[in-house]
Amino acid sequence: VEIEVRRPAVPDRAFERFVETDGSRLRRALVARFGIDPGNDAANDALAHAWSHWSSVSTMANPVGYLFRVGQSASRRYRRWQRHVVVCTFDEAGASDVYDEGLVASLGRIDHRQRVAVLLVHGYGYSYREVAEVLDVSVAAVTNHVHRGLGALRSQMKEQGRTMEEQG
Amino acid sequence: MNEPTDRLLAGLRRVAVRMDEQSQSSARIERPYTTVNLVSPRRPLATWIVAAMTLAVVVASVIAVTNGGDRTQVFGAGGSRLLLQAPGWAITRHDEADEGGSTHFETTYRSGDRRVDLHQRPRGYNDEFMQGSSDFTVLGHEGVLLPSGTELRAFWRDGQWDLELRGGPLDEAEFRVLLGSIALVDETTWEAALPETVVRPADRARVAAEMLTGVPLPPGVDMATIAQSARQKDRYQFGVEVVKPVLCGWMAQWVDARRTGDATREKEALDALQSSHEWPVLLQMAVEGDYPEAAWSSIDQLADDATGEGAAQRFRSGFNC
């Protein structure tokens, strides 16, 4: 494993750059993993951890993957009331159609790794490599998660459509 | 690409946009009680940085900050305890963690499907929330009430401690009743209110021994210190405390044996780590949280020459070995 040893001349700027780029990928992944509120809380905790341990985090081979695990650990205290993960909600301001609401419900029911992979790759357009980095798994594993996740979503959406047709 | 797939992918892109919108809006809070614009309840980056710096300064100085004559309540073992005593509400979880030279207390209360958490942290954590005028008083201390989605949050300060009550679903009147029911109690009353799932200091040695049943211990690991802490722990968090030195010890042996070419010790460590998939303590913890899963994901890569050393390194940094 290659470890990039660097000590930025101006750590604050390096940290800000990290937050702007990897930080948003981290936040999106944690929201996809745990839902909108717990995910954001976990991302805040992970970034706070990054700040307070910046000298070591900045030299890691895969800081975003490490911080995803930090966020996972932190998320435990933020999970509440949810039987299924809710990655976003639709109110009047975010009015959407029935399909999108069904999709969010389906996303909440599929395997969490598949959900993160599907949303990052197809929702946000990250590369498989970028997603593999966050989840700290191989590109092949991400490919599998995406493939299976899309399959699971298709069958759930199909089922929902059938139910809606039956209900008139 | 068939049409259902097109539709699905377009839907995923809309969901992603909505996730980003809500991530941004969740960093703000509407506060109908005053016209003061408050900053994030979720601590945006800048605030975190300020908070981290503030905490570092406080810890480094080791000198109690003067606070305009406020008394400083002594909390925790040997001091008073804050107990929410509203009828129908009971503690379901309590955890105390040492962080940055101070102690953080976190207590979960439930009543049916409603839940509140009482956080008690070193002074400074509430700075960003206590800029408006007071909305309530708890034990003589004025505080600020904020709605946050389906939750309500209340912030107040008692000497060197910042307190937050957060939870829901509750309406404001119900939440205020909860705030009004918070009382200072002695250790005996507090102990009586704790559920069995909280590991008390006196039980630490026994529970640690139970958790380590069937767990191979690495040479030289000292589990005695775990029993010496005065902290009351949530069982899951106590499991982390107990298991971490064991996992780290075996991982250190694996790395060392690999470096020195000692195949026997390397295999012994690998066998022990791989057996963690069957450790009752981790299987129990896996139901509640991701600690075991995160450990196993690294351990499972050890046997592969291509990924082993990287996995060990990630494990040791990620788990603060």
- Return the pLDDT at B114: 92
Q: How far is B210 from chain A (nearest CA, A)?
A: 24
Distance of CA B71 to the CA centre of its chain: 27
Tens digits of residue pLDDT in B53-109? 333 323 332 222 223 333 445 565 556 799 999 999 999 999 888 776 788 898 999
Tens digits of residue pLDDT in B164-201? 998 888 999 999 999 999 999 998 999 999 999 999 99
- Return the pLDDT at B224: 85
Tokens 């959406």 belong to: A157
Residue B145's CB is within 10 A of a number of other CB atoms, namely 21
A60 shares contact with chain B (CB less than 8 Å): yes
Q: Which residues of A touch B19 (CB under 8 A)?
A: 28, 31-32, 36, 87-88, 119, 123
Determine the angle formed by the axes of helices A128-135 and A63-75, rounding to 10 degrees: 50
Residue of A nearest to B167 (CA): A80
pLDDT confidence of B2, banded at 50, 70, 90? very low
Task: Tell me the average pLDDT across B17-32.
Answer: 59
Instruction: Answer yes or no: is pLDDT of B51 > 60.
Output: no
- Return the pLDDT at B74: 59
Whether A145 and A113 have beta carbons less than 8 Å apart is answered as: yes
Residues of chain A with pLDDT under 50: 1-11, 80-83
Q: What percent of chain B has pLDDT over 70?
A: 78
Q: Cα-flanking dihedrals φ and ψ of residue A69, to 5°?
A: -70, -40
Given an 8 Å threshold on Cβ–Cβ distance, is B106 in contact with A77? yes
CA distance B48 to B41: 11
pTM over 0.90: no
Looking at B34-43, B152-161, B182-191, B235-244, which range is the least confident one?
Answer: B34-43
Q: How far is B46 from chain A (nearest CA, A)?
A: 10
Q: Which residues of B touch A73 (CB under 8 A)?
A: 289-291, 294
Decide: helix, strand or coil at residue A59. Answer: coil
Instruction: Answer yes or no: is pLDDT of B29 > 70.
Output: no
* B42 vs B32: which has the higher pLDDT: B42
Q: Give which of B80, B106, B96 is closest to B183, Cα–Cα.
A: B80
- Average confidence score pLDDT of chain A: 79
ipTM over the 0.90 cut-off: no
Q: Where are the beta strands (DSSP E) in B85-131?
A: 90-99, 102-111, 114-122
Q: How far is B18 from chain A (nearest CA, A)?
A: 6
- Average confidence score pLDDT of chain B: 78
Element (H, E) at A57: helix A54-57
B271 shares contact with chain A (CB less than 8 Å): no
Tens digits of residue pLDDT in A43-73? 888 888 888 788 788 888 888 998 998 888 7
CA distances from A53 to A148, B48, B61, B303 (A): 36, 13, 20, 30
Given an 8 Å threshold on Cβ–Cβ distance, is A100 in contact with B15? yes
Task: Read off the tokens for A62.
Answer: 């895969």
Instruction: Answer yes or no: is pLDDT of B50 > 80.
Output: no
Length of chain B counted residue by residue: 321
